[in-house]
Amino acid sequence: MLNLTNVDLSLPQMMRAIVLIEPNESIRLSETTLPVPECSENELLVKVEYVGLNPVDAILSKSGFCQWQYPHILGLDAVGIVVKAQKGVYPNVGDRVMWHASMSEQGALSEYTKVPNFAVSVVPDEVDAMTAAALPCAGMTALISLEKLRVTAGETILIEGGAGSVGQFAIQFAKQRGVDVFTTASKRNHKLLKQLGADVVFDYHDPKLCEKIRRELGPQGFDAVLDSVGGESTIRNIELMRFCGRIACLRPLPYFEQDLLDRKGPTISIVSLGGAWLDNSLCAQQKMGFMSKVMLDSVAKGEIQTPDLQLVEFTADHIGDALNRQIGGSFTGKQIVKVSD
């Protein structure tokens, strides 16, 4: 917890924000000035320090979202200092908090934002603010995927796209559970993923990928697959699973031939982090808060490491460029916007 004397409680009426005026393919953003949000009884006013960028931010910048009002403030993952809270509401003024915001509400790429008090986790002193901003979306997606897959010690899992942020977290959390981890990545990232604990890493560009996986794995097939790619890769991954194997999908499902489903009998799970908010599930939102604490504790103890962090300036042009990099391919780190000191 920070000393309250270090927190500026003379709050301004207006703030800088980076907004999407309308969805567009090139992700053109604008800087504007907006009123500092007014909070209800269970909401905290937070001075934003860092915002973590995710692929979903870039995808929705292009397509828009049905519940958004424009101009829309982007940014789902954030860390900041509580500067205003109703008496008796926890966390307290001066606490540093981390959260994953509702997809349907205004985001966190602004100097101040409001967030429900039950949706935040207090950041321990052992974890710096920039590192904490890298955790929510990718880390919780990895944890929820592994929970849906119910992987246990001695089982095998294929983690597609292991060099992405979700993949890097999933490899580490899966190894904590004693699972044998197979993953795919470009050759330049194989050493990194081995260091994170992956047992076998395959080159996803390899035209003989399936043949090499079967040779390494044997005839039994994977117990579980974390599929972050979608499309034809999902069909291929089900072919590589054992009968009644489990697959957690982060992307929209392709069309499945009935023969494939009959032969493999897969258990298919959809991972939707935003669904906790979109379905107004207070239980799911509170569970996300618990997962945030698990991640923070793991980082504080040195049990989990984050992807390489890359700082992004708090300007419309720099953030637009960063979002394009998120979905441009071959990106392995985590981009973090520094909003304020």
Domains and CATH numbers, the chain: 4-134+274-338 (3.90.180.10), 138-270 (3.40.50.720)
DSSP state of 87: T
CA pair distance 298, 112, nearest whole angstrom: 28
Q: How far is CA 250 from CA 40, 177, 225, in A?
A: 34, 21, 11
Q: Which two tokens stand for residue 210?
A: 């399936």
Q: Which two tokens stand for residue 207?
A: 């035209």
Q: What pLDDT is attached to residue 8?
A: 47
SS3 260: helix
Q: What pLDDT is attached to residue 54?
A: 94
Instruction: Using 70 as the pLDDT threshold, list the residues of the chain that sit under it.
Output: 1-9, 330
CA pair distance 286, 42, nearest whole angstrom: 14
Q: What pLDDT is attached to residue 225?
A: 98
Q: What pLDDT is attached to residue 6?
A: 45
Q: What pLDDT is attached to residue 289?
A: 83
pTM of the full structure: 0.92
Q: What pLDDT is attached to residue 330?
A: 67
Q: What pLDDT is attached to residue 9?
A: 56
CA pair distance 188, 99, nearest whole angstrom: 32
